[in-house]
Chain A
Amino acid sequence: MSDEIRKDGMPPGADSLENKGEEGEDPGKQEHPHREEVMPRDHELYTPQGGGGGTGGGPIREVAVLGDKESVVSGSSGGVTLPQVGPEVATAEALGRAPGEEAEAPGGVPERPEVSSFRLLMTLALAGAIAGALLVFVFQWSDPLIRAEQARVLQEAVTEVLQSPDRFEEVYVLGGEVMAQVPEGASGQPVDTVFLGYDEAGNTIGFAIAGDGFGFQDLIYVIFGYEPAAGELLGMKVLGHKETPGLGDKIVKDSAFVSEFRGLETRWSAEDSLFIRGASSTRSTGDPDEVEMITGVTISSKAVVKIINERIAELGDLLAAYEPGGGEATGTAVGGREEGR
């Protein structure tokens, strides 16, 4: 039965494909009957390899081999079934699937009516306009949420680095002066914002100063609490970074490193022009102005120390001289750190 179908009922493409595998003519087949019957089985299993027909792209073949479950199953059910599942059918099956469908598109619809440029332009313009309008709505919904979240994160960070102040207020540094309010007409100038914290009695605790600098990969954003009178750091928190996960991000996750900044004393020295110093764990002397670097995270942890040094150098004296306007902080000692400079 299978013989008849093979001679008559087989699609024309099937013959050539089979021959391709055999590399011989009809007489050759007769001489090697075993081989002929084994071949179809291979063929059924690896359909597209035999029936590539010039479309033997790598991904197509892989997908079809793994994905063409039905053809594998149906082929194996009835012994010699090659004639029913001709290579052409199988090829079409393989091509009918993603991503082989791409290959079908250009050949399948050869004649496409001409579309005017105006229509193309209009389609894109319309799609762009609709997309833009949609995004405006989503932006209007999400923007306040994102801003609120950013404000919340900042507030949390200030609270953390100032060791839970009763309240805090914004103080502005503008053109070498510290002020509680930005004067009118100063909108164009760069304003440095720091946060001044108070305890329950209304005494100032210290300033929360934000800063940034280059770490290993990108800018590291840091906020730290600073008490100018005693020259003491109150705490440090990394607001944002893009350091290597598992290594550089220890400046956030290593609690021993983070807690070292709490109560760290600043000591300015003319030799190195630094307020606080970083030291590797082997050279650490335990000085109160020394931060022990994290092993393997030297660049990132040094960057944090550098940022804090730069910001204290920039703002330390200004903030030490600042007296809050309300008069409730009269007891604040000013210039306690001045002898260092």
Chain B
Amino acid sequence: MRETTAQQDLIRGVWNENPVLVQLLGLCPALAVTNTVLNSLAMSGATLFVLLGSSLFVSTLKKLIPHEVRISTYILIIATFVTIADMTLAALAPAVYAEIGNFIALIVVNCMILGRQEAFASKRPVGRALLDALGTAAGFTIAMLMMGTFREVVGSGTLLQGTDFVINLFGPNYEPWVVMISPPGGFFTLGFILLFLGWWEDRRLKTKEIRHWPHSVRAPARKEAA
């Protein structure tokens, strides 16, 4: 196991190993509930809570959980926190719950969360596990907001719909792209985002290669001299 610093644990999940955009985990909520910014935020909040809670427990109890039943126990812990999140959201934010309530229960099977427990929290100290959970949840939130913002702006022509700060962006004559707030729009959006990021990363690597080209050319000459 490679040693990492606390800072790396926190930062890693945010962008470089973003759970949705790089690891392609947790796609169900990313596709299903990102039709408005508010829904994306609520889902991210619930996921943050579940991730923090289950990482805390899994990391604390890692020595007590026998290897053979670890997955069942992790799922049990995750399911408990999901149910708590479900009830809390229903009690405190009924309007949001009415829209995304069905998908809150599905956080249980979000493999991003189980993946963090199995790969990280079950092997590291509590503090590191919490940092990792925070970073992963932040990365999840970033991805959700990217999708939610794009889909709401194009699909409804608004921003922050459902809150008191709703902004109507294009005026009354805008004809919304309804497909963008329906499930196919989620696939389109995610596809375009991944396409762009892949192109960007490819370009970055190529630039780096070209920049260091002189070294590669010089090196053989040195070797021949020796």
Chain A contact residues, CB within 8 Å of chain B? 2-3, 33-34, 36-38, 41, 45, 59, 62-63, 65-67, 69, 72, 76, 79-80, 92-93, 96-99, 101-102, 104, 108, 112, 115, 119-120, 123-124, 127-128, 131, 134-135, 138-139, 141-143, 145-146, 149, 153, 240, 244-247
Contacts and interface: CB of A to CB of B under 8 A. Distances in A.
Interface string B84-127: 10011011101000100000000000000001101110010000
A41 B212 contact: yes
B220 A37 contact: yes
9 contacts: A3-B226, A34-B220, A37-B216, A99-B115, A108-B1, A120-B68, A123-B65, A124-B69, A142-B90
A123 B84 contact: no
B16 A67 contact: yes
Given A37-B223, A153-B94, A115 B67 contact: yes
Contacts of A134: 80, 84
Nearest to A102: B119
Contact of A142 (B2, B67, B79, B87): B87
Contacts of B118: 102
Nearest to A133: B80
A18 to B, nearest CB: 15
Q: In the A-B complex, list the 6 residue pairs whose CB atoms are closest, starting with the nearest.
A: A96-B2, A145-B91, A142-B91, A246-B178, A131-B80, A142-B87
Contacts of B155: 246
Given A67-B22, A115-B66, A127-B76, A138 B84 contact: yes
A127 B77 contact: yes
B84 A135 contact: yes
A138 B88 contact: yes
B178 A135 contact: no
Nearest to A144: B91
Given A96-B1, A123-B64, A62 B83 contact: no
B22 A63 contact: yes
A331 to B, nearest CB: 39
Nearest to B214: A79
A33 B83 CA distance: 62
Interface stretch (B44-52, B164-172, B201-209): B201-209
Contacts of A67: 12, 16-17, 22
Given A37-B219, A67-B16, A246-B181, A92 B2 contact: yes
A137 B124 CA distance: 30
Contact of B23 (A59, A123, A124, A138): A59
B216 A99 contact: no
Contacts of B205: 45
Interface of B: 1-2, 12, 16-17, 22-24, 35, 64-69, 72-73, 76-77, 79-80, 83-84, 87-88, 90-92, 94, 98, 115-116, 118-120, 123, 155-156, 176, 178, 181-182, 201, 205, 208-209, 212, 215-216, 218-220, 223-224, 226
A105 to B, nearest CB: 8
Contacts, number: 136
A232 B31 CA distance: 44
Contact of B215 (A66, A79, A131): A79
A3 B12 contact: no
A10 to B, nearest CB: 15
Contact of A45 (B22, B209, B215): B209
Nearest to B79: A131
Contacts of B120: 98, 101
Contacts of A63: 17, 22-23
A124 B73 contact: yes
A67 B136 CA distance: 14
Contacts of A108: 1
Given A66-B17, A66-B201, A139-B87, A123 B66 contact: yes
B182 to A, nearest CB: 6
Contact of A138 (B17, B87, B215): B87
Contacts of A99: 23, 115, 119
Nearest to A103: B119
A108 B1 CA distance: 9
B84 to A, nearest CB: 5
Given A97-B2, A145-B92, A135 B69 contact: no
A45 B182 CA distance: 39
Contacts of B80: 131, 134-135
Given A34-B220, A67-B12, A98 B17 contact: yes
Contacts of B66: 115, 119-120, 123
A120 B96 CA distance: 39
B39 to A, nearest CB: 10
A92 B17 CA distance: 17
